[in-house]
């Protein structure tokens, strides 16, 4: 196997024997074959779109199945075999439609005609499917690096697009580009500048995908508002919902209303407490339990109720809690309870409710603790005048966006130290699961403004971008001229997509850690640092001093 799509890739240069995430070579191979099939489907979909054929089914399927190949989403090779079968069936149906109306356009490459041999193990065939792609490493390492950047960025954008679709927000421009990018991977007529442009285009399209998702969330659940979230459980039986999918969280709240169960968020669902239409409608939507994804084995073991994981990051489960753990959507693990949606896309959560009722729930009270969420773009920009005034009066010196993913590597303590060292006349905006290293710290206030503001999930990176652009607009300066520094942590492919969006927007001086992506070649990194001053984190002290001096 070969995989280097995430930050914890083995020895910093690729997982070869077994995934550091727990992914087996078999799962990796079936993922490779699925992506190989999607690369072959893409030119067919693009031809169909030009002919006016409706490709919506394959558009959504492509996004969902790419989402499933992201880090810590799905470890079940059977699910990937099933995705491959569906992909090939849908591909042949679309070819037949094209053949029927425009036979002169129905000529397909070997890749678009690919058929695995179902009588033989997919594992050996998958290696062959991935190899032509891998062999390009020797051909041009920098182009290969950018191809991987595009592929991983597209995976992240596909996950946002899939969430937005679930909330009724779609744009064919996004779907079309996802197919264009997948088809481009097998082109050999593009040189380095073309690939740089394509990577930035991934960023542009990802911005649109994130905008759609933001519209989906805010039009369905209202704009987030500052909200206190208890961290201490209350007495009674309980369900814990992890991942990012607010639509599934809402469905769970609806089905558990008046059951006596209390619903808690875990990980990246913490910011869901800021949505007024969820809080107002569901009084049993109570608090948050646990911290970031890499601590889930401890959190899930201790939680005395049923647990649902709606998206990444799922870790291989321990036997102490696998019986009470359920997955939905693109998430899966062999042997784990999976709740498939019906034809209307709805999930029946009654097995989760039954499991929660069979477990003890919380039987002891604990010290009240709370955190505050809800500082999304609408809230922050509604006080833009106060912010500007505070900056003009010298009460606020600088803003730091300390955001991104968490992970298990010790180097990630950089982010905690960084936040602890931020001077008292500066504000920290945060988002995504990296915040769990400092989310419950009391950093106090500057006037009416909290010094630590939670913008939301990694899926709300759009909100952070809107805040930066809105403040730049209010100050009548460019975004790079704001007293704002971005200190980002990455782990998986959504972070790659967001980074490409920030580069597409021309944002400079981003500091990235805890390590640089293994798939970025030294030349590509040099190009990004020359153009955008993208830089690796160093030490909290040195980076803070540099940011405050405007570097
Ligand atoms: Fe974290 Fe995982 Fe949200 Fe990522 S839970 S690491 S960027 O998948 O999604 O921030
Ligand atoms: Fe390794 Fe990350 Fe790939 Fe898992 S997703 S196999 S940890 S590079």
For residue 407, which atom of ligand 1 is closest to its CA? 6
Q: Are residues 231 and 82 in the same domain?
A: no
122 pLDDT more than 90: no
Beta 370-373 vs 227-230: how paired, if at all? antiparallel
pLDDT band at 462 (very low <50, low <70, confident <90, very high): very high
Q: Are residues 350 and 385 in the same domain?
A: no
What share of the chain in percent tops pLDDT 90?
93
Query: How many of the other CB atoms lie within 10 Å of CB of 78?
Result: 11
Q: Is residue 385 assigned to a domain?
A: yes
Q: How many domains does the chain have?
A: 3
**Residue 406 CA: which ligand is closest?**
1
Q: Are residues 505 and 404 in the same domain?
A: yes
Pick the range with the lowest mean pLDDT from 35-49, 126-140, 515-529: 126-140
Query: How many of the other CB atoms lie within 10 Å of CB of 134?
Result: 12
Q: What distance in angstroms lies between residue 406's CA and the mean position of ligand 1's atoms?
A: 7
- Closest residue to atom 5 of ligand 1, CA basis: 313
Average pLDDT over residues 352-374: 97
131 pLDDT more than 70: no
Average pLDDT over residues 99-108: 98
pLDDT band at 50 (very low <50, low <70, confident <90, very high): very high
11 pLDDT more than 90: no
pLDDT of residue 138: 66
Radius of gyration of the chain (CA): 23
Q: What distance in angstroms lies between residue 449's CA and the mean position of ligand 1's atoms?
A: 27
For residue 4, which atom of ligand 2 is closest to its CA? 8
Q: Are residues 528 and 484 in the same domain?
A: yes
CATH code for the domain in which residue 168 is found? 1.20.1270.20
State the residue range of the domain holding 528. Answer: 375-548
For residue 311, which atom of ligand 1 is closest to its CA? 8
Average pLDDT over residues 508-515: 96
Q: Is residue 72 assigned to a domain?
A: yes
pLDDT of residue 70: 98
pLDDT band at 430 (very low <50, low <70, confident <90, very high): very high
Q: Are residues 283 and 206 in the same domain?
A: no
Q: Are residues 191 and 286 in the same domain?
A: no
Q: Are residues 459 and 322 in the same domain?
A: no
Q: Encode 103-116: b = buried (16+ Cβ within 10 Å), e = exposed.
A: eeeeebeebbebeb
129 pLDDT more than 90: no
Q: What is the number of alpha carbons within 13 Å of residue 81 lying toward its C-beta?
A: 14
pLDDT of residue 551: 76
State the Cα–Cα distance between residues 544 and 212, nearest whole angstrom: 34
For residue 3, which atom of ligand 2 is closest to its CA? 3
350 pLDDT more than 90: yes
Q: Is residue 485 assigned to a domain?
A: yes
pLDDT band at 319 (very low <50, low <70, confident <90, very high): very high
Q: Assess whether the C-beta atom of 23 lies below 6 angstroms from ligand 2.
A: yes
- Out of 210, 415, 433, mutate this one to test ligand 1's pocket (max ligand atoms within 8 Å of CB): namely 433
pLDDT band at 463 (very low <50, low <70, confident <90, very high): very high
Q: Which of 413, 424, 517, 501 is nearest to 465 (CA)?
A: 501
Tokens of 271: 């910011």
Q: Are residues 203 and 68 in the same domain?
A: yes
Q: Which of 184, 128, 131 is nearest to 154 (CA)?
A: 184
For residue 156, which atom of ligand 1 is closest to its CA? 7
pLDDT of residue 550: 83
At 54-91, the pLDDT tens digits run 999 999 999 999 999 999 999 999 999 999 999 999 99
Q: Considering 152, 185, 220, which residue would you say is the last residue of a domain?
A: 220
Q: What distance in angstroms lies between residue 22's CA and the mean position of ligand 2's atoms?
A: 8
135 pLDDT more than 80: no
Q: Is residue 369 assigned to a domain?
A: no
Angle between helices 493-504 and 192-221 (to 10 degrees): 100
CATH code for the domain in which residue 336 is found? 3.40.50.2030
Q: Are residues 208 and 245 in the same domain?
A: no
Q: Is residue 382 assigned to a domain?
A: yes
Q: Assess whether the C-beta atom of 72 lies below 6 angstroms from ligand 2.
A: no
Q: Is residue 3 assigned to a domain?
A: no
At 193-243, the pLDDT tens digits run 999 999 999 999 999 999 999 999 999 999 999 999 999 999 999 999 999
Q: What distance in angstroms lies between residue 349's CA and the mean position of ligand 2's atoms?
A: 31
Average pLDDT over residues 259-268: 98
Q: Are residues 212 and 279 in the same domain?
A: no
Q: Which of 428, 440, 434 is nearest to 464 (CA)?
A: 428
Q: Is residue 163 assigned to a domain?
A: yes
ipTM above 0.90, yes or no: yes
Q: Are residues 211 and 236 in the same domain?
A: no
Q: Considering 160, 191, 220, which residue would you say is the last residue of a domain?
A: 220
Task: Provide DSSP, 22-66.
Answer: S--HHHHHHHHHHHHHHHHHHHHHHHHHHTT---HHHHHHHHHHH
Q: Are residues 188 and 326 in the same domain?
A: no
Q: Is residue 253 assigned to a domain?
A: yes
**Residue 434 CA: which ligand is closest?**
1
Chain mean pLDDT for the chain: 95
Under 8 Å between Cβ of 199 and 146: yes
Q: Considering 220, 249, 264, which residue would you say is the last residue of a domain?
A: 220
pLDDT of residue 188: 85
Average pLDDT over residues 371-394: 95
- Closest residue to atom 3 of ligand 1, CA basis: 458
The residue with tokens 């936040």 is 419
Q: Assess whether the C-beta atom of 8 lies below 6 angstroms from ligand 2.
A: yes
């Amino acid at each position: 196997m070969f995989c280097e799509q995430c930050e914890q890739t083995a020895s910093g240069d690729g997982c070869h024997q077994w995934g550091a995430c727990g992914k087996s070579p078999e799962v990796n191979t079936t993922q490779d074959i699925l992506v190989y099939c999607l690369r072959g489907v893409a030119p067919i979909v693009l031809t169909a779109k030009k002919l006016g054929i409706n490709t919506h089914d394959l558009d959504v399927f492509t996004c969902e199945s790419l989402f499933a190949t992201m880090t810590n989403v799905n470890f079940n090779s059977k699910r990937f075999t099933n995705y491959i079968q569906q992909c090939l069936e849908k591909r042949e149906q679309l070819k037949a439609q094209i053949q029927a109306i425009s036979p002169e356009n129905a000529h397909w490459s070997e890749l678009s005609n690919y058929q695995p041999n179902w009588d033989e193990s997919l594992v050996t065939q998958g290696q062959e499917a991935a190899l032509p792609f891998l062999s390009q490493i020797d051909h041009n390492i920098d182009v290969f690096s950018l191809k991987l950047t595009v592929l991983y960025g597209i995976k992240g954008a596909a996950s946002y697009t899939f969430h937005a679709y679930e909330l009724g927000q779609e744009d064919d421009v996004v779907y079309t580009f996802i197919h264009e990018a997948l088809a481009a991977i097998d082109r050999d007529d593009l040189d380095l500048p073309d690939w740089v442009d394509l990577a930035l285009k991934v960023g542009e399209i990802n911005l649109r995908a994130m905008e759609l998702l933001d519209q989906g969330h805010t039009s369905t659940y209202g704009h987030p508002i500052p909200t206190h979230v208890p961290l201490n459980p209350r007495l009674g039986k309980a369900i814990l919902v992890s991942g990012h999918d607010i639509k599934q969280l809402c469905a769970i709240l609806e089905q558990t209303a008046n059951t006596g169960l209390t619903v808690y968020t875990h990980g990246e669902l913490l910011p869901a407490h800021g949505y007024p239409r969820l809080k107002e409608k569901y009084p049993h939507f109570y608090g948050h339990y646990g911290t970031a994804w890499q601590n889930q084995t401890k959190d899930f073991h201790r939680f005395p109720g049923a647990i649902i994981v709606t998206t990444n990051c799922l870790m291989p489960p321990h036997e102490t809690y696998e019986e009470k753990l359920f997955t939905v959507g693109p998430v899966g693990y062999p042997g784990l309870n999976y709740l498939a949606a019906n034809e209307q896309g709805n999930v029946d959560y009654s097995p989760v409710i039954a499991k929660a009722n069979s477990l003890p729930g919380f039987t002891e009270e604990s010290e009240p603790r709370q955190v505050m969420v809800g500082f999304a773009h609408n809230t922050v920009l509604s006080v833009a005048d106060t912010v500007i005034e505070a900056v003009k009066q010298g009460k606020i010196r600088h803003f730091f966006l300390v955001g991104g993913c968490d992970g298990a590597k010790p180097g990630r303590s950089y982010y905690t130290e960084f936040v602890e060292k931020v001077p008292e006349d500066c504000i920290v905006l945060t988002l995504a699961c990296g915040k769990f290293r400092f989310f419950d710290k009391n950093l106090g206030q500057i006037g009416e403004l909290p010094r630590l503001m939670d913008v939301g999930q990694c899926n709300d990176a759009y909100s952070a971008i809107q805040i930066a652009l809105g403040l730049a607009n209010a100050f009548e300066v460019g975004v790079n001229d704001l007293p704002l520094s971005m200190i980002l942590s990455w782990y998986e492919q959504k972070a790659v997509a967001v980074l490409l969006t920030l580069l597409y927007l021309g944002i400079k001086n981003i500091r990235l850690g805890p390590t640089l992506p293994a798939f970025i070649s030294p030349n590509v990194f040099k190009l990004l640092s020359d153009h955008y001053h993208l830089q690796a984190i160093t030490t909290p002290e040195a980076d803070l001093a540099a940011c405050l001096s405007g570097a």
